Amino acid sequence: MSFTLATWNINSVRLREGLVRKLMEEEAPDVLCLQECKSPVEKIPLEGFKELGYTHMVARGQKGYNGVAIFSKIPMEENCAHDFADLGHARHVAGTLENGVTIHNFYVPAGGDVPDREVNEKFGQKLDYLTQMRDYFKAEAPQKSILVGDLNIAPREDDVWSHKQLLKIVSHAPIEVEHLHDTMEAGKWVDITRQDIPEGLLYSWWSYRARDWDAADKGRRLDHIWATPDISNAAHGSRVLRAARGWEKPSDHAPVFATFDL
């Protein structure tokens, strides 16, 4: 079977229910992973999504902040949910599809403004979160698994509009990129987006604060799709739906897609 998966930081699933439905109707991924739902699970507007065929959901939520959800047209059961770094935040949930593929959906802490844990507690929490992710995947090698989400790190030079100017900016600082690579290695994860699109500038996020995000194009690739080696060669068709950043009342993130032929 073949299935298409998308990951999108929606920045409020209730405010942007209409945009989620638009994506479901126009792009129709089999599985849609959302981050920053900013909603308790019981207030997620399920009905409209169900009508479009997304009859399965696993989610974790809280009031006002964070929140992750996976919507699927394919039968899916909850696998697990972890509170890495013990922040008490809804930042991870995992589901297993009926084909045996497990999907981990993450919203990694943004990490505040200063890339130094000595002066910025939030940056320390981000590094600790990544370290615990690493240890979790090192303890038991994930198999037939996909990891997606807003990882809040743009690891490569061509994942940002200016490598040089962002070296001291949280999301592209060397220490956090190192932590992300450690997490990747621990689970033998393959970066599917860059497997499919190995060359060139590629972004999934553009700040709300830019005067003209499209013309300025000062983006970063913060949203990722990874897979374990046993299914990584089944992946193809990766893309970023940049157009969604230009929709009315948009999220500051664009959805990222990949297709798996299994």
Partner DNA sequence: ATGGTAGTGAAACTA
Binding site for DNA (CB under 7 A): 11-12, 14-15, 38, 63-65, 109-112, 122, 152, 208-209, 249
31 within 8 A of 73, measured Cβ to Cβ: yes
- State in angstroms the smallest separation of the CB of 122 from DNA: 5
Q: Report CA 213 to chain centroid distance, whole Å.
A: 21
Q: Based on CB atoms, which residue is closest to DNA, 16 or 56?
A: 16
Give the C-alpha separation, 129 to 136, whole Å: 11
95 within 8 A of 71, measured Cβ to Cβ: no
Q: Based on CB atoms, which residue is closest to DNA, 163 or 249?
A: 249
Tokens of 19: 């945009």
- State in angstroms the smallest separation of the CB of 177 from DNA: 17
Question: What single DSSP character describes residue 126?
Answer: H
Q: Based on CB atoms, which residue is closest to DNA, 45 or 53?
A: 45
- State in angstroms the smallest separation of the CB of 209 from DNA: 4
Q: Based on CB atoms, which residue is closest to DNA, 86 or 98?
A: 86
| 3 state SS of 74 | coil
86 within 8 A of 109, measured Cβ to Cβ: no
- State in angstroms the smallest separation of the CB of 15 from DNA: 4
Question: What single DSSP character describes residue 249?
Answer: S
Q: Based on CB atoms, which residue is closest to DNA, 104 or 245?
A: 245
235 within 8 A of 195, measured Cβ to Cβ: yes
- State in angstroms the smallest separation of the CB of 222 from DNA: 9
